[in-house]
Chain A
Amino acid sequence: MSSTTPDWTPLVDQNIGIVGRFFRGRIWYGAEWYITVFGASILVAVLLITLLAPIIAPHDPNAFVGAPFTAPGDGLQALLVRKGESPIQPGDDLAGDHLADRAIGAQRNKNGDAWTKEMGISRRRYNKQEEMIVALERGEVDIIFIAEELVDDALAANPWLEMVQQGIGRRYLLGTNNLGQDSTSRLIWGARTILLVAVMSAVFSSFVGIPLGLTSAFVGGKLDKVLSLVLDSIYSFPGLLLAVALAAMLGPSLINVTIAISVVYVPTFFRVVRGQVLSIKENTYIEAAHSLGARPHTILFRYVFPNVIPSVVVLFSLNIADAILTSAGLTFIGLGLPPDIPDWGCDLTKGHQYVVAGHWWMITFPGIMITLVAAGFSLLGEGLSEILNPRLVKS
């Protein structure tokens, strides 16, 4: 028996490299691994978007690039002429001279108008599509710009029209908002803002909350009582209300919103760290360190603090998720970021006014993104909590 090689291969001894070990995790941790990886992949994707924003965003998020309220996927223009009288041919390059000295009509505040302006082509502007078509019929203009999706209706209503070219200008993947800004670009740049605010506020609150929790629990006595009382009072209070008051006090700016949110979450870090330290303090190895004459701060930083880290990591992730929602909520109430910073919460708030008018895209996409990122952090924290603290898992 002893001479036969085992028919199983030991998991740990295998030389499978870091990537291999990472994927092995799914065997050890089961569903928790999938939850963690699912959350982490969302975050990696968003992080990539954030870093690559200047490259992948098609437009400046604050620039007027097209007609307001262009629906997702729309924006391309077609050229209509009187049947048989076309001054240009279907294959002509419009960027060249073909449009230069023609009589062109475009509708105000529509994408054709924006495009001709951008290309430096002179045109007559009309307020309504019908006026423009009448002008074409009368011969005031020879060519008119019309949105591609409206062409069929226009041709059906006016059989004397003919379409010579289509697919002119650009398409807006997720549409444009009420100010004619490109929703896609705002979504991409908004990722930066929300990550910055949420991560920074979590960093601030942990920088204040963790040391407070450590000292409070470690020193004990009156200090602990007072700190616990103050921070528990803040903790028991609806966080958003406190953030609202703070944000109103500090005024709208990126750093102020971050500070307002971070104050709300200091007690969370404090409570978790304090609770952990109180239970760690009871361990015999702490007693041993004391009896060996270790100095208090050595015990605190070498023996206590490392044991707090796993819970802090989990809390940090869950905290960012919460901070994202609070920041969006603040903006919704009107106390968030200044309007020139592209922000999902701000876009949502703007979209709210236009829901009844049917401009669904203005709120749908930012909302999905907020949910996705917040869920990413929550899933990551949730999965990590069970992987890092397996003893805490009751089930």
Chain B
Amino acid sequence: MSPGLRRYIVVRILSTIPMLLILVTLVFFILRVIPGDPALAVLREGASEEQLQSFRVATGLDQPLHIQYLKFISGVIRLDFGESMTRNVPVIDEIKTFFPATVELALAAMSVTATVGIFFGVYAAHHRKKFSDYSIRVSSIILYSVPIFWLGIMLQMVFGAQLGWLPVAGRLDAGNTPEATITGLYTIDAILTLDKDLFVDAVRHLVLPATTLGLVLAGIFIRLTRANMLDVLQQDFIVAGRARGLKERVLVYQHGLRNAFIPIVTLLGLQVALLLAGAILTETTFSWPGLGRLVVDRIYDRDFTTLQGTILFFALIVASVSLIVDVLYGFLDPRIRY
């Protein structure tokens, strides 16, 4: 690791901190202004005033806002997200429970996005200004305009309700629980434990949500791939290859794509915020027990601690993924020096 790169990484990490701090502050105060009392949400109507008060004391809700804020921030610095207000578990444990499902969904969706996006993007760039290019461009715009949950519901309706091919909710069939969770991603666990039934079950449940999320994101990704491929295809080495009589297919899909790959992967990494936003809706549609579902459920419970912890966690993921992508970019492309 060159000293330049090391300095770059340090500067990037340091510059992420004020960003996270701003977000956390924003979220903290937005949540405190939400109408609705967590004490009432947990203890239900009819709880006596003493019960409500003791709940508030136990969760620290009776303290002034700025004290609550300082406590929260000092906890976050020690990577302690506090304890859930509505369930008696640490927030970090809740995140640990729900996070693997989101990762599994996100990875599967990413592979759908990459496959569809790269194939059509490269094809459109290759056939620039032909009919197929224009139809791919227009379709990608339309694909991106589809409400993600609507696509999900339509797929549920066709492949779940009508044809009965695939399950429409959850990660596994009822009653099927993995014996051991190693990574928490059921598909990978199944491979590691060589459990064929679990693998089939997990994949069957994963197909529809991953396709839904992946296809909508592919709408953007087709365009990004196309633009990058166009850049590459206009470079001298492509002309030189053509002059040497290389087959067009080899030229585009091997030489061209290999060179467009680095910016394409970078862009894929930078889509992570969009991916997470899409995951919230996809998880709600498919009752997928991930972080998005956690946020939506806890909004109704007014579970402030879990919410601010999870939202901060989302921000951390986005920040770290873009950091990793930037650093990898430097490694992969020797022309970039920090």
The answer to whether B134 has its CB under 8 Å from any CB of chain A is: yes
A360 touches B157 (CB 8 A): yes
The answer to whether B188 has its CB under 8 Å from any CB of chain A is: no
The answer to whether A150 has its CB under 8 Å from any CB of chain B is: no
- How far does the alpha carbon of A229 sit from the alpha carbon of B280 in the complex, in Å? 26
Query: Chain A 357-373 against B: per-residue CB contact (8 Å), 1 yes, 0 no?
Result: 01010011011001110
Question: Residue A238 contacts which of B19, B146, B150, B318 (CB distance < 8 angstroms)?
Answer: B318
Shortest distance between the CB of A229 and any CB in chain B (Å): 6
Question: Residue B161 contacts which of A236, A335, A355 (CB distance < 8 angstroms)?
Answer: A355
Shortest distance between the CB of A250 and any CB in chain B (Å): 9
B153 touches A351 (CB 8 A): yes
A249 touches B277 (CB 8 A): no
The answer to whether A119 has its CB under 8 Å from any CB of chain B is: no
- How far does the alpha carbon of A332 sit from the alpha carbon of B153 in the complex, in Å? 11
B157 touches A332 (CB 8 A): no
Residues of A close to B296: CB separation below 8 A: 244, 333-334
- How far does the alpha carbon of A31 sit from the alpha carbon of B127 in the complex, in Å? 14
Query: Chain A 371-389 against B: per-residue CB contact (8 Å), 1 yes, 0 no?
Result: 1101100110010000000
The answer to whether B154 has its CB under 8 Å from any CB of chain A is: yes
Residues of B close to A251: CB separation below 8 A: 35
The answer to whether B156 has its CB under 8 Å from any CB of chain A is: yes
Question: Residue B156 contacts which of A246, A249, A333, A355 (CB distance < 8 angstroms)?
Answer: A355
- How far does the alpha carbon of A332 sit from the alpha carbon of B277 in the complex, in Å? 13
Shortest distance between the CB of B154 and any CB in chain A (Å): 7
Residues of B close to A238: CB separation below 8 A: 273-274, 276-277, 280, 314, 318
- How far does the alpha carbon of A363 sit from the alpha carbon of B161 in the complex, in Å? 14
Residues of A close to B318: CB separation below 8 A: 236-238
Interface size on B, residues (CB 8 A): 55
Residues of B close to A329: CB separation below 8 A: 147-149, 280-281
**Those of A40-70 within 8 Å (CB) of chain B:** none
Residues of B close to A241: CB separation below 8 A: 276-277, 280, 295, 311, 314
Contacts known (A360-B157, A363-B157); A229 close to B138, Cβ less than 8 A: no
B153 touches A363 (CB 8 A): yes
Inter-chain residue pair count (beta carbon < 8 A): 149
Question: Residue B150 contacts which of A34, A348, A358 (CB distance < 8 angstroms)?
Answer: A348
Question: Residue A348 contacts which of B141, B153, B314 (CB distance < 8 angstroms)?
Answer: B153
Residues of B close to A360: CB separation below 8 A: 157
Residues of B close to A266: CB separation below 8 A: none
B142 touches A371 (CB 8 A): yes
Q: Which of A234, A352, A364 has the most CB of B within 10 A?
A: A352
B157 touches A394 (CB 8 A): no
A236 touches B22 (CB 8 A): no
The answer to whether A233 has its CB under 8 Å from any CB of chain B is: yes
**Those of A159-196 within 8 Å (CB) of chain B:** none
B227 touches A394 (CB 8 A): yes
Question: Residue B31 contacts which of A34, A249, A372 (CB distance < 8 angstroms)?
Answer: A249
Query: Chain A 335-363 against B: per-residue CB contact (8 Å), 1 yes, 0 no?
Result: 10000000001001001100110101001
Question: Residue of A at shortest CB range from B276?
Answer: A238
Shortest distance between the CB of A228 and any CB in chain B (Å): 11
The answer to whether B185 has its CB under 8 Å from any CB of chain A is: no
Residues of A close to B151: CB separation below 8 A: 367
Question: Residue of B at shortest CB range from A370?
Answer: B147
Residues of A close to B273: CB separation below 8 A: 236-239
Shortest distance between the CB of A207 and any CB in chain B (Å): 20
Q: Interface residues, chain B, CB within 8 Å of chain A?
A: 18-20, 22-23, 26-27, 30-31, 33-35, 128-129, 134, 137-138, 141-142, 144-151, 153-154, 156-157, 160-161, 227, 230-231, 273-274, 276-277, 280-281, 284-285, 295-296, 299-300, 307, 311, 314-315, 318-319, 322
List 11 extra interface pairs beyond A31-B129, A245-B30, A325-B147, CB under 8 A: A229-B18, A229-B22, A233-B19, A233-B23, A238-B277, A239-B273, A245-B27, A332-B147, A332-B149, A348-B147, A363-B153
Closest 3 CB pairs of A and B: A367-B150, A374-B145, A375-B145
Q: Interface residues, chain A, CB within 8 Å of chain B?
A: 31, 34-35, 38, 229-230, 232-234, 236-241, 244-246, 248-249, 251, 321, 325, 328-329, 332-335, 345, 348, 351-352, 355-356, 358, 360, 363-364, 366-367, 370-372, 374-375, 378-379, 382, 394-395
- Interface pairs (9), CB distance under 8 Å: A234-B26, A236-B273, A237-B318, A245-B34, A348-B149, A363-B157, A370-B147, A371-B146, A371-B150
